[in-house]
Structure 1
């Protein structure tokens, strides 16, 4: 027996609020870490993280307003189930537009990381941009087609095909870029001294972050294809999951990858929080720890150990710590 639409919508709001709280907490930790960096790490990643938070916040506010209308203000007139069935509702369209914007921005960051890590390959950049443009156009076409539909009408065949295409391309970008980044890291670190010893934690960061996002999109695609109302749950939780994934990459590199023991990681995180609330400079001598540099998304010249030359990593690494 399928889950009722009003129940699925209420559960979606609950889970979205829960995950938004997680994202909000990780966002401030990430901002605190990034403000201690320089160059492109601060100039690009801080605005992206802030935009992701703003979109997730707007999405949550819209879902709260819709819940108030469905379960309180209009419960005696049309009912919650009928209210959520109106696919042409302006608030529902705005919510879907924010979802498409959030996923497109996140996919753009993933494609950019893949582009930088592959020696700023034009092929990767052009192919990635084409996929992103097609995916975004498909998603916004779905929003436009729903706005032209009659109230309480079903999704048309064309819109249904575009929705499937959008979900599939989103998952494709995440999986392909994650595999490409992981393979590039393996190629550049396997001949470095101690490279294999630190390779596993690096893979954990890359694979876990990509798997979390890709699995969410896969669940969304499956629920849509089988006609389950669980689709509405996934549509609500993916915007904060996108932000959580983005922040986890940065925080895992900062606290997990680099050879620290669990006690060292706990001490470092505790030191950050202590200095944050006390207003001290994070570069205080009590919090000065030597880190192992982990270059995850920077352009790295191929290791020349086999040819006898010295390899020099280029500057501007995205997550260079």
Structure 2
């Protein structure tokens, strides 16, 4: 089995790799959002920037920890003992950032799904409850880790709560996909498919829906599933799976904005209703994958 220092180095490498992808996607997204106006710019741009800041802080902390473990403290406590200290300030800080990143993204997700579904309380209230519960569990885990003593294993420290946090995170990601435009994948995909079907007179192309599902839900849900399985099996592979979480959240957030803007996999709709979805991320004529998101933004702008 991979050792803790080896897992930590692998985690740093993978996190750096995914951070580079996120950084690139962020600047592409920034160029798009700066040309927009209203809620598109006022909400999505600060959220994307905040996600980048959190991912950057998380990566910096991991670099500092690696420097301390393998260079500065290698002759005193050693890398294995260093990474085994669950109550270290830097370790607690990165865990808190890991909890914060999906919480920020999911809060936008829940809000947007609520607006998209005609401000239905049946969507908004359960989403808020799950989101708040998951955030509370995550920060409580951080507090519990701060109370641990040297030599304590993560697998024996409130494993039930940690498992619950991972499951709820994955649940939000699947049912209400945590990203970019924070489109709840299942619900928004349904709205996109239904709108496209009504416009096309009964037939609907499933490709845009599948793109939203893959880009919005599958990427992050898969990473959380890998993290959950690694934790349940007691594998140190949990650390690489956890450390790629912050940049992956940002990547998926940006992917949906970029996908909608560039109309990947869409077919133009020559006839659209007067209050269609055409003014969200693209110009008039941009197509169906963005429809569900665009309608939500249009409705929000009218209500502000």
If the length of structure 1 is used for normalisation, what is the TM-score?
Answer: 0.81
Q: How is 1:217-232 mapped onto 2 (pairs within 5 angstroms)? A: 217-232=224-239
Name the count of aligned residue pairs.
277
Q: How is 1:1-321 mapped onto 2 (pairs within 5 angstroms)? A: 2-155=1-154, 159-177=158-176, 178-193=185-200, 196=203, 198-255=205-262, 256-259=264-267, 291-292=286-287, 294-299=290-295, 315-316=299-300
Distance 2:188 2:197 in 1: 14
Distance 2:118 2:74 in 1: 57
Moved over 3 A (4+): 155-158, 194-199, 257-260, 288-294, 313-317
Deviation per CA, 1:33-89: give whole Å up to 9, x if none: 111112111110000000000000000000000000000001111111111011111
Alpha-carbon RMSD across the aligned residues, in angstroms, is: 2.2
Larger radius of gyration, structure 1 or 2? 1
Conserved 8 A contact 1:39-1:316: no
Conserved 8 A contact 1:93-1:143: yes
| CA displacement at 1:295 relative to structure 2 | 1.6
Deviation per CA, 1:95-141: give whole Å up to 9, x if none: 00000000111222222232122111122111111111110110111
Conserved 8 A contact 2:85-2:150: yes
| Alpha-carbon spacing, 1:88–1:158, altered in 2? closer, same or farther (3 Å) | closer
| CA displacement at 1:202 relative to structure 2 | 3.8
Deviation per CA, 1:216-248: give whole Å up to 9, x if none: 111100000000001010111010000000000
| CA displacement at 1:292 relative to structure 2 | 3.8
Gaps of 5+ in 2: 177-184, 269-282
| Alpha-carbon spacing, 1:195–1:291, altered in 2? closer, same or farther (3 Å) | farther
Gaps of 5+ in 1: 261-287, 301-312
